[in-house]
Amino acid sequence: MTTALDEIVANFELLDEWDDRYRYLIELGKSLEPLSEEAHNDANKVRGCASQVWLESRREGGPGPQARLHFLGDSDAHIVRGLVALALAIFSGRQASEIAATDAFAIYERLGLAAHLTPQRSNGVRSMIDRIKSDARAAAGA
């Protein structure tokens, strides 16, 4: 795990109440690096999310499995912005091969999010992760 992800996991473990965890997710979303207005476009829009979600990816190096991907993201919903921030902490700055091998759902499960998200939000998280992994496959040349 990355340092940012380790910190998020540690903070989640300190919070016993789900209201506090949701507030923490909202704070994570507020900490996202801003996504430019130009990046709020149809090509960056994640399909399958009830809320609007945009992910912009940038490849560093390669193509190939060692290509490193950096992501920016945004949503029009506060909690979803927090879920975007969590996904970016999991994946951004990692090599395409690492992204492909990462089980983000296990991390969401560890944090208890899988049990506390509505089915619509869970589908949205799945769509977001699928999009990130698709970008990684494309960067790897697979």
User: In which domain, by residue range, is 49 found?
Assistant: 3-140
Which of 51, 75, 48, 60 is closest to 135 using CA atoms? Answer: 60
pLDDT band at 1 (very low <50, low <70, confident <90, very high): very low
pTM, 2 dp: 0.91
Question: Catalytic residues, which ones?
Answer: 49
Continuous H helices in the chain: 3-14, 18-30, 78-91, 96-101, 104-110, 113-116, 119-140
- Looking up residue 61, the CATH number of its domain turns out to be 3.90.1010.10
How many domains are there within the chain?
A: 1
**Amino acid letter at 86?**
L
The answer for residues whose C-beta is within 8 angstroms of residue 131's C-beta and 6 or more apart is 46, 47, 55
What is the rounded average pLDDT of the residues 64-83? Answer: 92
